[in-house]
Every structure is written in C-alpha cells, then in structure tokens.
Structure 1
Amino acid sequence: MNFRLIVFAAFLLGTVSCIDQDQTQEVILVQNKEAIEKYLLEKPITSVKEYKEEEEGFYMFWQVARDSTALSVVRGDTVRVNYTGRLLSDQVFDTSIEQVAKDNGIFNSTRKYEPLKFRPGFNFAIVGFEFAISLMREGEKATVIFPSRLGYGTSSSGPVPANAPLIFELDLIKVTKVPQN
C-alpha cells in the first residue's frame, strides 16, 4: 500500500516537473490579451492618438498629445511622471497623487505623494510602464494597458495578484535631458 502511494507521488512530481514553462507563459498571455480586449470593448478609452501592439497585448491611448517639438524621452533622461495604477477591475492599487489615493481608500499618511522620478533604461521594475513612458513626450497624458508579463508577471505585489494585466494613467510632467558628451 505504501509502495503504491510512493509511486503515485513520484508520478505526480514527475508530471508537474514536465510542465513547459514557456507554454504556461503563452497560455497566461492569451488569457491576459482576452481580458484586455474584453475590458476595452466594455470600457472604450477616448483618445486623440493610439498605439497598439496587439500581438503583445499592449495598448496605449493618449488623452493629451504634443507635437514633435515637445521633449521626447531617451535612455538616461530623468523623467517626472504622475501615475495611477489600476487592475482590470478598476481597483486602484497605487498612485503618486494624494487625492486619488484618498478617493480610493489606499492613502498612506507616511508616504510622500509626488511625481515619480526615474531614469528610463536603468532597471525600472515595470517594463510596460517604462515602455509607455518611452513613447511619450513632455506634457502628454496617456492610458496604457498591458499583460502581466510586462507588469509583475507571475509574482504578486501587494494588492496586485500574480498574472494580472495592468492599467496605468500617466502624466509625463517633466523630461530632463541627459547631458551630451
């Protein structure tokens, strides 16, 4: 009896270890893309300009766009951006704006609410967020939606569950150009 149990447990462990991680990621991507497309059908986003990478499930909608004379972002520049992060359920999970935090029950009195300052191209945690910023110009506002593999992936982070597509409302306030050699 115990021998059968051991053989069954070994079979289960062998089956689990044979799961193709790439195939699993592909299944998650397909599920994320379907959820994003459903969201966009149910809640279309008004925009003046759009960018889509449908194969990747990346969608960006500008509410305010600037002409080509506005400063663009390149690797090494320093940017300041206000943001609000949401799940497809529209639950706000993070923001740089104090009033948005208060309105959505996530206010933290020990946190300093101010535009996020970072240098694109230097290990920012959320790839989809950074990519969206790279497409923007100073003074632009946009909403970006992307699958979990461009967000937190298979890890959870606070109120963000594993494999969750993300939505960010972005306001690129300032671009400080990297000094040229």
Structure 2
Amino acid sequence: MNYRFSAFASLLLAVVSLVSCIDPDQSQEIIFQNDLKAIEEYLEDNTLPTAKEFSVPSDGIYMFWETSVAPTVNDQILRLDTVKVNYTGRLLTNKVFDSSIEQVAKDNGVYNSQRNYAPMRTALGVGLISGFEYATSLMRVGEKATVIFPSHLGYGSSGQNNIPPNSPLIFEIELLEVTNGPNHQ
C-alpha cells in the first residue's frame, strides 16, 4: 500500500515538474502558428467577396469587403468612438455562433427568444474582442466586410459559450453608423 502511494506521489511530482518546464510563451506561439495554418487553409477552401481587401498575414488578419464606399481603409475611427453594426460571428468550420440579425440566428440554430435582435451599438476600446474592434475601425459607414483573425485577437485560450478555446474567428460586419467620441478634436 505504501509502495503504491510512493509511486503515485513520484508520478505526480514528475508530471508537475514537466508541466512547469513548458514555456507559456512558446505554447502561445504554437497556438498562433496553428491558427495561421488553419486560417490559410480556410482561405484556400473558401471564396470571399473582394470589392476591397486588407491583410496583415504575419498577424493572421484578413479582411474582404463585400461592399466598399472608398478604395482605401478608414483611419478616422478612434478609440471611444461609438459604432452601430450588424454582425454575424462564425468559426472556421463556418458554424455561426452569434448574430445581431434575428433571421440569421434562427437559420443557424443560435436564436435566443430572450434576446433583442438589433444592430449593436458600442464604444470601441471598451470591451469588444480586439479583432472585431480593429476590423470595425478600418471600415466606413455603409461598408460590409468579412474579417478573419487568430484566436488571441478573439477569446483566446478561454473560449466563450459555444466557441472552443483557441478558435480563430470570422465576423461579417456591416457598419451602419459612427458617432465621434472624445478623442476627436
């Protein structure tokens, strides 16, 4: 009996020692490289609208405009500006996990009768996931775009509701309105 306890304690100590030797930054780098590979495969297998494109491949960020009102990206939306958007969020499997559009939610099995489906109004820089905020800040009112980004710009290793940890995300965004915040002089 004492031998089994000693063996179990030794095994537990070995596992703890091994886990403590893993560099968390290296783990994050591995996750990021896996995200980049998954995003590249998604882009190879899926056709996206291309009225205008923007990407930072080294960061794993890709945007494709379905509707564009100018040939360049916007640089006038600042932190604390309030935006009004319609959106649909998907995983790289194309499974919808959220939408501000009631019919899209119903069509994809994510409808919640307790929710008020309407365009989302929010200030940038105060609580949205950074990939979504970054993409929205590059848009102009009246534009529709699809953005794809790695998990660290989404919900990271924690995941969220029906979004698994370390999931690259896709958002279809329609920018309806922008109200300048205090950073505009």
TM-score w.r.t. length of structure 1:
0.93
Does the 8 A contact of 2:36 with 2:60 survive in 1? yes
Does the 8 A contact of 2:67 with 2:145 survive in 1? yes
- The one-letter code matched in structure 1 to 2:53 is E
**For residues 118 and 15 of structure 1, what CA distance do their matches in structure 2 show?**
44
Q: Percent identity?
A: 49
- 1:91 corresponds to which of 91, 95, 108: 95
1:29 Cα deviation from its structure 2 partner: 0.6
**For residues 127 and 23 of structure 1, what CA distance do their matches in structure 2 show?**
22
- 1:14 corresponds to which of 2, 11, 17: 17
Q: 1:45-92, CA deviations, whole angstroms, 9 ceiling, x for partnerless residues? A: 121111111111110111111237x89422221110000000011110
Does the 8 A contact of 1:71 with 1:138 survive in 2? no
Kindly indicate which of the two structures has a greater share of residues assigned to helix: 2
**For residues 157 and 134 of structure 2, what CA distance do their matches in structure 1 show?**
19
Q: 1:123-156, CA deviations, whole angstroms, 9 ceiling, x for partnerless residues? A: x231100000111111111000001000000012
- The one-letter code matched in structure 1 to 2:124 is P
- The one-letter code matched in structure 2 to 1:154 is S
- 2:116 corresponds to which of 88, 96, 112: 112
Alignment pair present for 1:135 and 2:145: no
**For residues 31 and 3 of structure 1, what CA distance do their matches in structure 2 show?**
39
Runs of 4+ aligned residues of structure 1 deviating over 6 Å after TM superposition are none
Does the 8 A contact of 2:75 with 2:137 survive in 1? no
1:44 Cα deviation from its structure 2 partner: 2.2
- The one-letter code matched in structure 2 to 1:86 is R
- The one-letter code matched in structure 2 to 1:3 is S
Query: SS of the counterpart of 1:19?
Result: coil
- The one-letter code matched in structure 1 to 2:37 is E
Q: Which residue of 2 aligns with 1:76?
A: 80
Q: Which runs of 5+ in 1 are unaligned?
A: none
Q: Which residue of 2 aligns with 1:163?
A: 166
Does the 8 A contact of 1:71 with 1:137 survive in 2? no
**For residues 171 and 72 of structure 1, what CA distance do their matches in structure 2 show?**
17
**For residues 95 and 7 of structure 2, what CA distance do their matches in structure 1 show?**
48
**For residues 129 and 80 of structure 2, what CA distance do their matches in structure 1 show?**
17
